Amino acid sequence: MDAGTVVTSAGFVLAVCMMYSHLHMVQKQMASNEEFNAVVEEEEAIEDEESAHAVEHIVEQHRMPGNHSVRMSKAHHNSIALKVDIKGLVKRHMSLENRLADINENLSPEKAAKAYRIMHVGRLYNVAGAFLWQTKAQSIMLVGVAVKLAIYNPNSPADDPAAAEQRFAVGIPIAICFSIQLIHGIFIKNFHHYSRANVLLHKCHHLAVAGRICLLAASVTACLVPLTPVQLMPLEALLIVCQSGLVHLQEETFPISSKKAHPMAGMSDALLYLHKEAFAENVAKRGGLAKVLEEEVEEEEAMEGDDHHHHHKGKHHHAPHHEAHAPPPSSNGG
């Protein structure tokens, strides 16, 4: 087989294996995002349902005539009542009041400190993840450059002054690429599952991890051997194929698990708590629930007024257009 064909085939195998490694990282990240979004949506749905039940109960207790009172000034109340259904206004006020009471009962310095701590840790996770993704992309690009150099001169002498540099240009980016996938899987996604007690329960998983580390070291060590590109590239491809097989064993065949929750499992609760805290602070700054409701109604009325104005303005602009195209009066009296 031609030397160029051998190097090209080895480069194609490297590309497929790196794609497989990248696919695992993407799948893990997407699964984590979907799980987090599902938890947030479920908690918001539960909160909305509880709030709706509480509001209906309160409205049932306030069905007596004249008892639909909202804490507003009388003049402002009368102006709003002309355009807004008072029952709907009462429901909104009761909903806000019930929500604020529930928030004030659950606010505490301990919960706030825990929520902020989770958010800070989550930020560190995001920064670390972004760094890993960027470094992995650069390593893949460098592997492509090294493969092109090997294809350009597959039989370059192993004792050439630039031969060692070219060999390390292949081995080190490959090792970095798969090391990042290993670090991402262990320290970002599953670090909470690793413990001394779990070693015996997941022996095959830990053996796969140990095998991967040995193969990564072998990928770099092979660059120390004086080999030509046509000799080095198939060797690196073979090591990476074995690496990909161990990735499948580690992630799919023998995945690690435990009863411990991920450090970011409380992120949805932290976000919900901070959202409630911000709502309570906003109500306090704006002068109470009545003021908040007044401003919301005023904003809605302004938006409705703008829509009404634009609607009539559109009709006004269309009228001359039709008149311009109207047929002129007949001069013969017909």
pLDDT tens digits along 168-207:
999 999 999 999 999 988 888 888 888 888 888 899 999 9
Global confidence as pTM: 0.65
For residue 216, give the nearest of 253, 265, 250, 264 by alpha carbon: 250
Higher pLDDT, 304 or 146: 146
pLDDT at 83: 44
Which residue in this structure is represented by tokens 């918001």? Answer: 44
Please give the Cα distance from 100 to 277 (Å, whole number). 10
* Residue 68 one-letter amino acid: H
pLDDT at 36: 67
b/e for 312-324, b at 16 or more Cβ within 10 A?
eeeeeeeeeeeee
Which residue in this structure is represented by tokens 């990282």? Answer: 25
pLDDT at 102: 62
> Given a cut of 70, is residue 16 above it in pLDDT?
yes
Higher pLDDT, 60 or 282: 282
Higher pLDDT, 323 or 15: 15
* Confidence band for 291, pLDDT divided at 50, 70 and 90: low
Weakest mean pLDDT among 20-24, 66-70, 160-164, 214-218: 66-70
* Residue 111 one-letter amino acid: K
Over residues 101-116, mean pLDDT: 73
> Given a cut of 90, is residue 314 above it in pLDDT?
no
> Given a cut of 70, is residue 53 above it in pLDDT?
no
Q: Which two tokens stand for residue 172?
A: 């080190």
> Given a cut of 90, is residue 9 above it in pLDDT?
yes
Question: What distance, in Å, lies between the first and last C-alpha atoms of the chain?
Answer: 97
CA dihedral 250→256→262→263, nearest 10 degrees, is -70
Indicate the average pLDDT of the chain: 75
pLDDT at 305: 62
* Confidence band for 288, pLDDT divided at 50, 70 and 90: low
Please give the Cα distance from 41 to 237 (Å, whole number). 45
**Is residue 74 classed exposed, middle or buried when 0-12, 13-18 and 19+ CB atoms within 10 A define those classes?**
exposed
Please give the Cα distance from 87 to 175 (Å, whole number). 67
* Confidence band for 322, pLDDT divided at 50, 70 and 90: very low
